[in-house]
Each structure stands twice: as C-alpha cells, then as structure tokens.
Amino acid sequence: MALIVQKFGGTSVADTTKILSAARKAIRETRAGNQVVMVVSAMGKQTDRLVELANEISDRPDAREMDMLLSTGEQVTIALMAIALESLGHKAVSFTGAQIGIRTDATYSKARIRSISTDRMKKALDDGKIVIAAGFQGIDDDFNITTLGRGGSDTTAVALAAALNADYCDIYTDVDGVYTTDPRVVPDARRVDRISYDEMLELASLGAGVMHSRSIEFAKKFGVLVHVRSSFSDAPGTVIGPKAECEDAPVCGVALAKNETRVAVLGVPDEPGAAMKIFSKFADAKIPTDMIAQNSSSKGKTDVSFTIQSEDAAKAREVVVDVFNEINAAGFEIDENVAKVSIVGLGMTRRPGVAQKMFHALAERNINIEMIATSDIKVSALVNRDEAVDALRALHAAFELDKAPVVSDAAANADETGSASGEEFAKLASAQWISRLTGMEDLLVEGVDLDENQARFTLCDLPDRPGLVAEVFDRVAEGRVVVDMIVQSVGRDNLANVTFTVAREEAEAVAKITEELAGVYGCRVESHVAAAKLTVRGTGLRSHTGLAYRMFKTLADDGVNVDVISMSERSVGVVVDAAVGQRGRDELAKEFAEETL
C-alpha cells in the first residue's frame, strides 16, 4: 500500500464538476489499495478576487487580515471536496492548515513552514478516510493564520509528502507536465519526461510558474518524487527527481520573470559598510534581491544595482529613500519597466560558449541587455519589459528546445524516476537533515568551497547598446578562453561595466584581448589577476533573503572585500583577493556552521 499526496490547483477545482472529477481521481487511487491525502487550492481565480476586494477598500491592507482573508478560498474547496467524496460513497475529512498543525513563522504573506504534525492525518487515513488539506496556509505561534505566498499550495503538498514520508506527490494542474518554457507563451515548447530538482528549482525561482519554487526546495531536501500531470487527461506528465532528462544538454529550459524592477543606488561611497547597509536593509524588509552588480569605483564612488520583484517595489522605494541619506549616496533609480529572461541547464557547467550564444540570440533581435548575472547553472539577462516575450522566444529557438536532446545509452536505460543512487542519496540525506533541522524550511548548507585559481577582468564605461556584450565575448572566445562568471550592469551616464572571471592560467591571454577591446571601444580595463572564488553550496540559499548579506558581512568584518557575486538556488559565489581566500573560507565555514550538514 502506497501513500500518495495529490494536489489540485485552482483551475482543477474551478467548479463543482471539476471538484467531482478530482474526487474521482482520489477514489481511483484508494481502489488501487493506496492511501490518499489531497491538497487543494482556492477555486479558479478566487484568490485574485479576494485580493481585489481588499484593494477596493484599501491600497495597503493590513498583512494579518490579508492572510485571514486569502485563507478562506482554500477553506471553501476542502469542504466542497469532502462533500464530493462523501457523495461518491467514500469517507473523507477536511482540515485547515491550523487543524493539521502546519506551524509557520509569523511572516504574513510569505510564511515559512516550521513543522507539521502528522498524527491527525495518520489517524484519519488509518480510519479509511481520504484526507483533504487546505493548501497555502498555516498558523503561527500566536494562532494567527498565515499564508505561504502566491502559488504556495504546491509547497503545502510537497511538505506534507515529506512529513508523511509519502511514496510520491502528484501535482494535478492545467498543463500536462513541465515544459521547456511556458507553453502558453511559446507554442513550440516541449514537455519533458523528467527534470532534476536543481534545474526545476532554478527555473521555478526564475519565473516558471508551473511550480512554487519553495516546493522544490522541500522535494530536494527530503527526497520527494514529484509528478506534474494534467487534471484533464491521463497523459504521462513529468517526474521531478534527482536525475536530469539529459545531463549533456547545456540548456534544459528558459524562463521569464515579467514583473521585475531594477534598483540602482548611484555614487555610493566605495567603502565596504556602505553597500552592505543597502543589502542589510533589504534583508530586514524581507525583500529578495537578485542580479546584484557593483560597478567598479571611479573617484571613490561606485554604483550598486540589483533587481527585485515588482510586487516589492513600493516597499523597496521606502527602503532606498531611508538608506540613501544614511550612506550619503548621490542618487538612485528605480526602473519598473524591465523583465528577466533566463536560461537554465546542468550541462552548461561543462560547455563553454553558452552565455555567448544567449547574447547573440538577443543581439540578433536588436534587444538591449540592461543587466547580466550568471551562476553555475543559469544565465539571466534583464531586458525592457516590452521586448521580454520576444527575447524568450529567441532563446527557446536558439537553443533548439523544441527538439528532444540526444540522450546517451546509459541515461536512456535508467528507470523513470532517476538513478537509484540519486534516490538513495536523497533519502539518506533527508534522514540526516530531518533530525538536524529545527524548522523544515531552514536554510541548509552543504559546504563552503575555495577556488584559488581565478582572475577577474572588468571593462569599464562601455557604451550601452544592443549587441555589444555579444561582440565582447566573441573576441574573448576567439582566444579559446572559457569564461566563468559574468556580471554586467549599466550605471551613471548610461555607461555599462562588464566583469568576468577566467582561470588564472588564461589571464595573460585575456589581458591582451581586453587591451584590444579597450582600444576598439574606448573603455577602461581593470583587472585582478590573483583572485579567488568562495562558494557556499546548499538549499534555500535564495529564498532565505539575508544570505548574500551574511556572506558580505562575514567577509567585510574580517577585512575581505567582495568584488563579484553570482547567485543560484544551489550556490552563492563571491570573488575576493586570492591572498585572503583561505581566511575567507574559514570565516564563512564558521558563520554557517550551525546550518551545515
């Protein structure tokens, strides 16, 4: 007998006919001898309607009351689902988040799950009932209702599967699986049979709305196999597990985050404390920052740019106004008309030239790139919001994602759910982690690495125009150089800085190339040949908003200056002077000792 968690999203329970059809899917599983826990969302667009009602009364409704309001959507569905199951002759019981003891912290609208008590659910299952749990909600220590963030029912479902040690978690939705990108935006998108936790986590946090990214943190941490499938057909769907569809493919998918906002604080005094104060204030306000870039300083001043989600833009403006006077900056810009397009793939770690291909695809459509940020398994580019869909389509076509990758024989022979060793590792790891975690969604660090063999180059004050970055990296590629991190941003006077790192032995060749480029574009070159990269690896690195700040602060307190940063869901890397690399590694290991496996 297996234990299965089945989650039904809004469209899958939009009316009573669909609720009955979902109920039949659950009954079918019990007839096959399995126990079923259902997790349901609010019906159709009910959550949006509730938000609109609140906004008709106030443009800044109280956060506690918003969570109280939004949680009612799911409460309606659980009761109707229980009524549906009973009407079809099956015993059922519905529970709100509070009733099954989904304990969260007190961060309204973005609460994190701390613990789940399984006793009540297990008792009901043993009594032969189908358990129906309300998605997206929990309760804090003071019995206030909290919600997990929009789309959070996925996270409830995978968290319940983890807590109950379920055999797998089915996510029933209005598409028949995970695609190479949103099939509603790019009709050529291809459904994938399977995708790795790391890739799905990255795609979800970069805008692939099919899964709530925090649900994949749970899946990876606790080794839950997730199956995304259609509510309206019996198509095979997609397995999200330890194994990738094709380890060799440089790109497995592309994502669009349409509602991004670029924040630039200009003329920041070039001392470690100043830039850090900005990130400390954003961390305190629980506003996640992404694509962090610091233009190299001129006349003792530097520009600090980063992106946030537009839903946080109003709060961010307050934070910037507050910090801007404190650090004596020269000015700031908040641009709400931008969007982020990203390519993701495990294979890009072993393939040179992937970023370059992306820049070319955008240049060919005359799309200007306002910012670039890379990490081990993704490259993101910030573009004008009006050009974002065009950019996404261009990237999907450039990497030929409509065609299935050629899978090697060994990979083709692996079973559906991924390699046994991968699964065993996940289960073993999860047993250790569960026993150590005080909260299920706690940050988890796997280790801190030091790579002392880096060199950094920055081209300062380049003209900002479409195609320029593609040209720059064409010249670099002509020297057969493999580029690691790339960061680009536009600062004062519309001049761009492009920073990249290479292996130390390439430094001499790259120095020649950058000198030539300086001649062609009239830009300035800055380099740091003896550089090192410090990397913190783990799970929850990005959704725990204070992590980058903690890294900066730990290093700054020890007198170590951070040059470049690269962030993904599974690693955050910073470039420092090689002479202080080992010291920096030790300090970071100390700082994260509590959270380290």
Nearest distance in Å: CB 203, ligand ADP: 6
136 binds ligand ASP (CB under 6 A): yes
Nearest distance in Å: CB 10, Mg ion: 7
Q: Measured between alpha carbons, how far is 262 from 308 in angstroms, rounded to an integer?
A: 7
Residue 536, C-beta contacts closer than 8 angstroms, at least 6 positions apart: 445, 447, 448, 547, 551, 571, 572, 573, 588, 592
Name the binder of 136 from ligand ADP, Mg ion, ligand ASP, none, CB < 5-8 A by kind: ligand ASP
Q: Measured between alpha carbons, how far is 436 from 22 in angstroms, rounded to an integer?
A: 37
Among 181, 295, 535, 539, binds ligand ADP (CB under 6 A): 181
138 binds Mg ion (CB under 5 A): no
Q: Measured between alpha carbons, how far is 494 from 12 in angstroms, rounded to an integer?
A: 47
Residue nearest ligand ADP by beta-carbon distance: 9
> Phi/psi at 275 (nearest 5 deg)?
-60, -35
Residue window 8-27: x/- pattern of binding to ligand ASP, with contact defined by CB under 6 A: -xx-----------------
Pick the closest to residue 340 from 414, 276, 274, 288 (CA basis).
Answer: 288
Alpha carbon distances (Å) from 408 to 22, 238, 405: 38, 19, 9
Nearest distance in Å: CB 229, ligand ADP: 11
Nearest distance in Å: CB 552, ligand ASP: 32
Place of tokens 């299920």: 440
152 binds Mg ion (CB under 5 A): no
Name the binder of 44 from Mg ion, ligand ASP, ligand ADP, none, CB < 5-8 A by kind: none
Span from 92-100, 125-133, 146-154, 355-363 in contact with ligand ASP (CB under 6 A): 146-154
Name the binder of 91 from ligand ADP, ligand ASP, Mg ion, none, CB < 5-8 A by kind: none
Fill in the DSSP letter of residue 536.
E
Q: Which amino acid is at 154?
A: D
Using CB under 6 A as the binding rule, the residues of this chain from 15 to 74 that contact ligand ADP are 41
Q: Measured between alpha carbons, how far is 495 from 186 in angstroms, rounded to an integer?
A: 33
218 binds ligand ADP (CB under 6 A): no
Contact 456, 487 (CB under 8 A): no
175 binds ligand ADP (CB under 6 A): yes
Residue 180 or 305 having the CB closest to ligand ADP: 180
Alpha carbon distances (Å) from 92 to 30, 37, 84, 157, 260: 12, 10, 9, 17, 43
Nearest distance in Å: CB 22, ligand ASP: 14
Contact 175, 230 (CB under 8 A): yes
151 binds ligand ASP (CB under 6 A): yes
Q: What is the 3-state secondary structure (H, E, C) of 206-259?
A: CCCCCCCHHHHHHHHHHCCCEEEEECCCCCCCEEEECCCCCCCCCCCEEEEEEE
Pick the closest to residue 489 from 377, 376, 333 (CA basis).
Answer: 333
10 binds ligand ADP (CB under 6 A): yes
Using CB under 6 A as the binding rule, the residues of this chain from 427 to 446 that contact ligand ADP are none
Name the binder of 42 from Mg ion, ligand ADP, ligand ASP, none, CB < 5-8 A by kind: ligand ASP
Name the binder of 497 from ligand ASP, ligand ADP, Mg ion, none, CB < 5-8 A by kind: none
Residue 199 or 464 having the CB closest to ligand ADP: 199
Q: Measured between alpha carbons, how far is 533 from 535 in angstroms, rounded to an integer?
A: 6
97 binds ligand ASP (CB under 6 A): no
Count residues binding ligand ADP (CB under 6 A).
19
138 binds ligand ASP (CB under 6 A): no
Put residue 143 in one of left, alpha, beta given phi > 0 → left and psi -120 to 50 → alpha. left
Among 97, 135, 138, 151, binds Mg ion (CB under 5 A): 151
Q: Measured between alpha carbons, how far is 87 from 27 in angstroms, rounded to an integer?
A: 12
Pick the closest to residue 30 from 89, 99, 76 (CA basis).
Answer: 89
Nearest distance in Å: CB 595, ligand ADP: 30
Nearest distance in Å: CB 153, ligand ASP: 3
| Burial group, residue 583, by CB count within 10 angstroms (0-12, 13-18, 19+) | middle
Binding footprint of Mg ion on the chain (CB under 5 A): 9, 151
Binding footprint of ligand ASP on the chain (CB under 6 A): 9-10, 41-42, 47, 73, 135-136, 150-153
Binding footprint of ligand ADP on the chain (CB under 6 A): 9-12, 41, 151, 173-175, 178-179, 181-184, 208-210, 253
